Amino acid sequence: MPPTLPPRIAPDEFRDRQRRARELAAERGLAGVLVWSRGGHTTDRFYDVQWLAGYTSQFPFIPDGPGWSARSHAALILPVDGPAVLVADMPAFREDLAVADRIEHADDVAAATAGRVADAIPAGLIGVLGADTLAYPWHAAIERAAGSGRLERQDDLGWRLRLVKTPAEQALLRAASAIGSEAVTAVMEACVPGATEADAAADGIALVVRNGAMLHGISISSGPYAHHYAQSQPAPYDARRRLEAGDLARVDLYGSVDGYLFDFGRSRVVGRTPDGDQAALLDAVRETTLAGLAAVRPGVTVGDVARACDAHWAETELVRRGLVAPTGFAAWGHSTSLCWEEPWITVESDVVLEPGMCLCVEKRQPVPGLGGANFEETVLVTEGGYELLTTAPRTFG
């Protein structure tokens, strides 16, 4: 029996988000914002429009053609003072789930957006959210219509608005991680001698879909390829390779409920207990992640969490034996909601933790000649510390 999913985000919450976005835009001296997002087969890059207006395009990306542009994309035009306009790429979607003052369908999304921006925000700077998904020809068309020099990248406006999650968002994050925990457990338990990586992936993917979540992606690697993030082919798992006793096997699995992510992974040795080097690797990624979690509480900075990870990693057997470097990692994880986003867990981050923030703390370590392993947990910051959302077993075998 699939779990009971939390309610969808209510329309009033989307309207409040739009109000907050207008206020922050005004504080920055902007006349409004243009929010651009890409959808298609996953929702991981549609978060700006989804968060503000509850709309995601499900149509796959196709190159511009005769009579259409920007398939799988949509735009939300949000003046500081004026109606919110959603420009959607397809007419066949549930308008009752999208929230805007006006909703328009356009085959040529770029041209329609260009015209609506010029009308809705006739003067002043326009902040652009989702700039990395706004391809050059579409950006050029919008800039010609709006006026040269008026578009200014403001992606951080979005993640700052999303930083502290509302109760409704927290409920969706809990539901997503509960499903993800079952799915990751299923993948790890399916990593047995004789099974293929595809067999293990199928067990996890089926659980995700059956329980009402959406798959974003999965990466599996094992045996002589376990130091890779995934197999080097379009499918991120190998349907030809059969697992053997003694293989290291690892998975990173990510998906969502109503766009809200679960994202974490586990590792194990297949068919027997780990040997000394394998145990050192598995222990290092797991215990370092847990050391970072121990530092999570309101009032500390994200940098403090990263420093706790750094300090523990430097003392692991893996480092003491010279199998890996003691420092030099880009990040120990990230914030999360509808996407992987700032603040990244680095020693430079001075973002102060608040109740309602959601963090993924993680470590993946490849060791050529030995293999690779990863370990990740997701937590909500609470008044007294944190709430662990990912409940899969921490060790297997």
200 neighbors 251 (Cβ within 8 angstroms)? yes
Question: Mind listing the pLDDT tens digit for each residue in 65-123?
Answer: 999 999 999 999 999 999 999 999 987 778 888 999 999 999 999 999 999 999 999 99
Token couple for 124: 């002043």
CA of residue 316 relative to chain centroid, distance:
29
User: Are the CB atoms for 110 and 139 separated by under 8 Å?
Assistant: no
Q: List, edge to edge, every strand of the sheet that includes 126-129.
A: 102-105, 85-88, 73-79, 32-38, 126-129, 151-153
**What does the domain layout of the chain look like in residue ranges?**
11-162, 167-388
Give the percent of the chain with pLDDT over 90. Answer: 90
Closest by CA to 128, choosing from 118, 120, 139, is: 139
User: How far apart are the C-alpha atoms of 57 and 72, rounded to whole Å?
Assistant: 5
Phi and psi of 204, rounded to 5°? Answer: -70, -45
Taking residues 227-240, report their average pLDDT: 90
User: What are the helix (H) ranges across the chain?
Assistant: 11-27, 47-53, 109-120, 136-146, 155-162, 167-190, 197-210, 276-294, 302-314, 317-320
Say how far apart CA 245 and CA 88 lie, in whole Å.
51
Q: Given this model, what pLDDT does residue 232 score?
A: 75
Q: What is the pTM of this model?
A: 0.95
Q: How is domain 11-162 classified at the architecture level of CATH?
A: 3-Layer(aba) Sandwich (3.40)
CATH 3.90.230.10 fits 167-388, yes or no: yes
- Domains 11-162 and 167-388 equal at CATH topology level: no
